Amino acid sequence: MAPVEQDALAVREQLFHERVRECIICALLFASLYILCHFIITQFKKHTDFTAVHDDEDAAVNRIALGLCTFTLAVALGAVLLLPFSIISNEVLLSFPQNYYIQWLNGSLIHGLWNLVFLFSNMSLVFLMPFAYFFTESEGFAGSKKGIMARVYETSVVLLLLTLLVLGMVWVASAIVGDDAASRQSLYDLWEYYLPYLYSCISLFGVLLLLLCTPFGLSTMFTVTGKLLVKPRV
């Protein structure tokens, strides 16, 4: 084998091993976040929600909805922790550039984590959370056999109708604002334009809601603390 072919093979092997390492690290990080979020949700969820079920079907529906909510919470927690993780990993690499054991904290891993968080965030916002809500409220179509699949079919149909309704409203709004070829062409570009726009709008709404609720939460905290503490008698 020629030296050029050996070098190319070594580069491909290195890229393969780096890709496998990144996949393993991402899977371990997400599994850790999922387990942590599962304990958090089960801790705050009322115990009667697990016990007061009528049959095995309702229990299975509750478990599926719990899994979807846990997945969404893990993605949200990963999105919150990703920026500090990126900053800390960059500082560690700058402090120890020659250390072999921390070279896995590279830019490819951080870029892959950002892409996964963006993908799972859009999937959770658009599909998983609405599906979990409609799935818990569904009972199956009239005349169909009862079971999990009947609820899945009804939830899928309702979610499809909701998606068509939202897309129709977007088309109408686009036609009202600007009826040109560029605006109509941008409607087909869901992945590059509308999903990042939707993600940014929901993030902005969450930040505004946090800023709105934080003063009331602080005032309530001081009020409750004042009621619990015993004032000294002069």
Inform me whether the pLDDT recorded for 35 exceeds 80: yes
Higher pLDDT, 98 or 80: 80
> pLDDT for 172-218, tens place per residue?
766 676 666 665 555 666 555 666 666 677 777 777 777 777 776 66
* Residue 53 pLDDT greater than 70, yes or no: no
For residue range 80-93, what is the model confidence (pLDDT) as tens digits? 888 888 888 888 88
pLDDT value, residue 48: 46
Query: Cβ(129)–Cβ(70) under 8 Å?
Result: no
185: burial class by Cβ within 10 Å (0-12, 13-18, 19+)? exposed
Angle subtended at Cα 24 by Cα 23 and Cα 28, rounded to the nearest 5 degrees: 120
Please report the pLDDT score of residue 189 as a whole number.
Answer: 61
Q: What is the pTM of this model?
A: 0.71
Per-residue b/e over 103-120, b at no fewer than 16 CB within 10 Å? eebeeebbebbeebbbeb
Greater pLDDT, 194 or 78: 78
- Token duo for residue 211: 């800023």
Q: What's the whole-number mean pLDDT along residues 141-161?
A: 82
Report the chain's mean pLDDT, rounded to a whole number.
77
